[in-house]
Structure 1
Amino acid sequence: MNKKSTELCGQYVRLRPVDRNDYEWLYRISLSHDAGFRWRYKGMTPGPEEFVHNLWRGVLCQFVPEIIGSGKPVGLVTAFDANHQDGWAHLGVISTPETRGTGLAVEGVGLLIDYLFKMFRFRKIYFSTLDYNLEQFESELGKVATREGLLREHSFFDGRYWDMHVFAISGLNWSGFRNEKSQVVEKNLSSVNKDSFADKVLTFDEFVDELAELCHEDKIEITASTALNANLNWDSMKMLYILDAIALMAGKSEVELDSVPKNVGELYRHYCLAVQEPEK
């Protein structure tokens, strides 16, 4: 077993256990206006002691994904209500408001799923999500998860009822998705300029060419100020796909992210810094 697998480390985030120092900021984001309605409380405000009790209730394992280098937390990923006899568990995630939509929490989820299938004899990992959360990660969802249930008008928020979707990730599908994902990134990168980023830093225009090929975007529409979420409609899954591609372009297995890119110019800056960063 290699060191990277035992450290629960990805290209941008690593997982670490939750400790007492995390309770305050987890309490704050769980009840925040930006994230609270996406998590379990949905407007309720439990006291700090009740919050900590609920945080561990039914939990099999949970971790804080933190950015490699800075150690900045991006949220919480948790596996709960495990059934070892029948081989399944449930998955939950909450991201900090400032990293939502960046793909960083999604990478943390992927690391947790890797861990669950490696450490336990699970056949499936279930997760449930409401309609208004789906848009954050649905671009690649069909490749990894199967919708096994739909609870219509299940939850009330903002003046209406929302459907609850129940998805399952099987070990076989997950393994296939992991392998296919890396192959697709490499194939799409090499289809433009096979060796263009092997020995030099790409210019901004060359970088945009790569983005256009990766995401099937028209180059004319992409400028330095083009917003990744608002203009290109990249959700968390797409963002992680792009970040993985940038790490590959930079020739790095781990990349330190000093700030979260919001537009193409900031994404290009991140790429340039990644190229210059020494390999660990």
Structure 2
Amino acid sequence: DYVKFANVLLDLSMRQNGKRDGKGAEAAELEIPRRKPKPAVQSLPLVGERVKVRAFDRRDLGLVRRWLEDPHGRYFLLSRTTARSLDPEELLTRKDSVVGVITLLDGSPIGLLAYLDVDRTQRKAELRKLIGEPEHRGKGLAHEATRLWIDYGLSTLGLRKIYVNTLDTNIRNIKLNRELGFKVEGLLRDECFFDGRYHDIIRMALWADEAETEA
């Protein structure tokens, strides 16, 4: 009941944000598409209509560091509990991380996807996403790439639960998460201290059994 109540409140909040943006309630209304049945086991690269997702390797480090210096990307590797940022090179050796590079169909890299804190016993992980190249933001590429990554997590990695932790002020990211099928689990008050103040974190999750049964 609490989760349902939280999701209703989130919808109302986003409608209000839509009105303040001058888009009206209708534009802010969220339509959550039902997911397809769980796909067959896949391997990288993943190929969509406009993007691919390939494995992350050492050759990407310079580009990734540039993306993380951008204000839009600075939170990609920030721990939501310790406020410590991982070094991209750590992702090459950590056994609890799986990282993919988003590219255009011609192979040009534009962003990152990651599963952090992969718990293979509990079969859950935290999802992170970033479009690093500014000219490719706002075009739906993150949505397409993240859908591929979710399917990869459910099928190939065998995840039972995928969760995201996002700042409560990041309405755009929250909306994208809802469109991808994530539901609010709760609000973590004053969870993380950075930029001189404490921030609230909204925890959202997607469950494999729900993703498989929605057709």
Normalised TM-score (structure 2):
0.66
Structure possessing the higher relative contact order (Cα contacts under 8 Å, 6 or more residues apart): 2
Match of 1:116 in 2: 153
- Root mean square deviation, CA, Å: 3.3
CA distance in 2, matches of 1:140, 1:127: 8
Match of 2:63 in 1: 25
Equivalent residue in structure 2 for 1:53, among 77, 85, 90:
90
AA partner of residue 67 (structure 2): I
CA pair 80-111 structure 1, distance change in 2 beyond 3 A: same
| Conserved 8 A contact 1:31-1:41 | no
CA pair 104-172 structure 1, distance change in 2 beyond 3 A: same
Q: Which has the higher strand share?
A: 2
Aligned: 1:100 with 2:142: no
Aligned: 1:170 with 2:201: no
Aligned: 1:71 with 2:107: yes
| Conserved 8 A contact 1:101-1:136 | no
After TM superposition, list the pairs within 5 Å mapping 1:69-218 onto structure 2: 70-98=106-134, 99-138=136-175, 141=178, 144-156=181-193, 160-175=197-212, 179=215
| Conserved 8 A contact 2:113-2:128 | yes
AA partner of residue 82 (structure 1): V
**Helix, strand or coil at the partner of 1:114:** helix
Runs of 4+ in structure 1 off by over 6 angstroms are 41-46
CA distance in 1, matches of 2:172, 2:159: 27
Q: Which has the higher helix share?
A: 1
CA distance in 1, matches of 2:180, 2:89: 35
Match of 2:99 in 1: 62
AA partner of residue 114 (structure 2): T
CA distance in 2, matches of 1:146, 1:119: 22
Normalised TM-score (structure 1):
0.52
**Pairwise CA distance, 1:23:** 0.6
Match of 1:250 in 2: none
Structure 2 residue runs of 5 or longer lacking an equivalent are 1-38
**Pairwise CA distance, 1:171:** 1.2
AA partner of residue 109 (structure 2): P
Identity of aligned residues (%): 29
CA distance in 1, matches of 2:178, 2:50: 21
CA distance in 2, matches of 1:45, 1:142: 27
Per-residue CA shift, 1:123-166, capped at 9, x if unaligned? 21111111233323516606711211311122345564321011
Question: How many residues are matched?
Answer: 173
| Conserved 8 A contact 1:34-1:97 | no
**Helix, strand or coil at the partner of 2:72:** coil
CA pair 84-33 structure 1, distance change in 2 beyond 3 A: closer
CA distance in 1, matches of 2:159, 2:202: 21
**Pairwise CA distance, 1:175:** 3.7
AA partner of residue 86 (structure 1): Q
Structure 1 residue runs of 5 or longer lacking an equivalent are 180-280
Per-residue CA shift, 1:93-132, capped at 9, x if unaligned? 2221412332212222211110111123322111111123
